[in-house]
Amino acid sequence: MILMGLLLTPFAAAGLAALARRRAVIELLHTLGGIGTLALGAAIVVQVWNGDVPTVVDGLFRVDALSALMIAIITFLGAIASLYAVGYIRAEFDQSHLPRARLFFSLFHLFVFTMLVAVTTDNLGVMWVAIEGTTLATVFLVNLHQTRTSLEAAYKYLILSSVGIALAFIGTALVYYAGAAKAGEIAVNWSALRAAADSLNPDVVRLAFVFIVIGYGTKAGLAPMHTWLPDAHSEAPAPISALMSGVLLNVGLYAIMRFKAVVDAATGPEFAAGLLIGVGLFSLLVAAAFLVRSRNYKRMLAYSSVEHIGIICLGLGFGGYWGIFGALLHVVNHALSKSLLFILSGNILLKYHSAEIRDVRGLLRAAPWTGALFLAGTFALIGLPPFAPFISEFIIFRAGLESHAWAAASGVILLIVVFGGMLASINRMLYGEPPAGLPCGDGLRLWLAPLAVNFALLLVLGLALPSPFVLALQQVLKVLGV
């Protein structure tokens, strides 16, 4: 019942926001939608935490611990981004651009809705439909500013993601065939496939997983299928960039994790491990190469997402209890820190009206709060203690050194390159003289307040790693069969 509410709330918010006429009403509906989705998401997570597996519509939707983890990330960061979005959209689109503000708020919730469907459905075909839906819901958001560059970014995003996801459908159909051939009449339900996994034809499943990694890897931003990502994530409005980088990429990974659990049982863990370590390392390499010479801070953050998704893939590939545990923890940590930084990048863009690093000078003096938070967030992102990403990266590479020493060692070297590149870039932004005539002070300071929660969580997870959270992740590991 709560599950139905969780899915219908963002859907209703999207529809009502599209119909409302007055700005105040749209903003109210938007905020209520964001908070309401978070409240219902929290209720579901508690239910799952108590050992329940909520199911509705004849098992079409089914929330296990892995789904609950994703619901927590989507609804929490959705709420944070929705609060900031009110202020940001007021600053970007005045009363004469009300239709575009309405489009933004409506598509925002449609986007959250498609992501929630993707992670709550048990049917792998419906999951595919929903993940393609995330592309369709966001493509106009990428082009919201209607500039030539955002048009280019949105068109590339639409075409490349649609083709990528089409390949994932081949993988889904092949897994469905493998399941139907062996286990008789089973639907494309993940739970049924998982139960029958060790009797599936390993050749078919292997080929299917290659398509799945290429297809959903395109959505997750894995190199070499990542080329749309820096364009789309840098052209989208800041709250959407935060959700695309912090949340949507994880939905792509989520799909890969689901299939990996089936593939591991059908073929043994080596096959998926080799593939994931390969694309993970390549993503790290590509991201490092672009991060050392980034000229645009939003593109810098986007490439850093490619890097972190690569790290998570390495964790999944290294496998074992600690590899997967580290990967799941890093999903959470990357989501928290990247959404934070993208929201702050919106503040910098509103202040300097440029996304070029060379145009941003003296950020710490011109906008002290934004600058200081941006610095702290970057420290978290590049893996400095006491923030949480340090712990998860440590766990992943510690696991890797035991099972795949060479891959882990190369990964660590690439991390150091990224570390230096990003520090050098933000160093140029933070210090120096602000451009003449730039008014001092932070824009939207009050709208940044929710980010305090992100910081608190990054510190708590980095310093203490509370035991209820560890127990929750262990439940997820059990779902994945580790």
Partner 1 sequence: MSAELLSKAVNLLSFIALGLTILLIIRTSLEGQVRVFALQSFVLAFLSALIAFYSDSLELLGVAVALVAVKGLMIPRVLNRAVSKIGLARVAAPYLGTAPALIICGVLTIIAFYIMTPIAASNPLPTADAIPLAFAGVLIGFFIMVNRRRAVTQILGFLMLENGIFLLALLATYGVPFIVEMGVFLDVLVAVLIMEVFVYRIKDNFDSIDVAQLGKLKE
Query: 481 — alpha (psi -120 to 50), left (phi > 0) or beta?
Result: left
Q: Is the dihedral of CA 212, 213, 218, 221 positive or negative?
A: positive
Of the candidates 351, 373, 353, 350, the one whose C-alpha atom is nearest the C-alpha of residue 426 is 373
**Distance between CA atoms of 292 and 306, rounded to whole angstroms?**
14
**Distance between CA atoms of 295 and 355, rounded to whole angstroms?**
9
Is 42 an interacting residue with respect to partner 1 (CB under 8 A)? no
Is 203 an interacting residue with respect to partner 1 (CB under 8 A)? yes
Rounded least distance, CB 181 to partner 1, Å: 7
Choosing from 123, 333, 378, 425, the residue that interacts with partner 1 (CB under 8 A) is 123
Residue 460 bridge partners (DSSP): none
Is 128 an interacting residue with respect to partner 1 (CB under 8 A)? yes
Site string for partner 1, 67-106 (x = CB under 8 A): ----------------------------------------
Choosing from 176, 282, 369, 455, the residue that interacts with partner 1 (CB under 8 A) is 176
Residue 159 to residues 65, 155, 163, 240, 241: CA-CA distances in angstroms? Answer: 33, 6, 6, 19, 19
**Distance between CA atoms of 418 and 421, rounded to whole angstroms?**
5
Interacting stretch for partner 1, rule CB under 8 A, among 41-49, 134-142, 273-281, 450-458?
Answer: 134-142
Name the maximum alpha-carbon separation found in the chain.
Answer: 73
Is 164 an interacting residue with respect to partner 1 (CB under 8 A)? no
Is 367 an interacting residue with respect to partner 1 (CB under 8 A)? no
Is 11 an interacting residue with respect to partner 1 (CB under 8 A)? no
Between residues 165 and 343, which has the closer beta carbon with respect to partner 1?
A: 165
Is 294 an interacting residue with respect to partner 1 (CB under 8 A)? yes
Provide CB contacts within 8 A for 360, sequence distance 6+. Answer: 297, 348, 352, 354, 428, 429
Choosing from 163, 409, 460, 471, the residue that interacts with partner 1 (CB under 8 A) is 163
- What are 473's two structure tokens? 């992740």
HEC letters along 356-386: EHHHCCCHHHHCHHHHHHHHHHHHHHCCCCC
Is 25 an interacting residue with respect to partner 1 (CB under 8 A)? no
Interacting stretch for partner 1, rule CB under 8 A, among 10-18, 26-34, 237-245, 292-300?
Answer: 292-300
Of the candidates 284, 290, 326, 327, the one whose C-alpha atom is nearest the C-alpha of residue 306 is 284
Is 204 an interacting residue with respect to partner 1 (CB under 8 A)? yes
DSSP of 5-19: HHHHHHHHHHHHHHH
Is 187 an interacting residue with respect to partner 1 (CB under 8 A)? yes
Question: DSSP 3-state helix, strand, coil percentages of the chain (rounded to 5)?
Answer: 80, 0, 15
Number of residues in contact with partner 1 under rule CB under 8 A = 50
The interface with partner 1 within residues 224-263 (CB under 8 A) comprises: 230-231, 235
Is 356 an interacting residue with respect to partner 1 (CB under 8 A)? no
Between residues 294 and 347, which has the closer beta carbon with respect to partner 1?
A: 294
Q: Which residues contact partner 1 (rule: CB under 8 A)?
A: 60, 123, 125-126, 128-129, 132-133, 135-136, 139-140, 143, 146, 148-149, 151-156, 158-159, 162-163, 166, 169-170, 172-174, 176-177, 180-181, 187-188, 201, 203-204, 207, 230-231, 235, 290, 293-295, 299
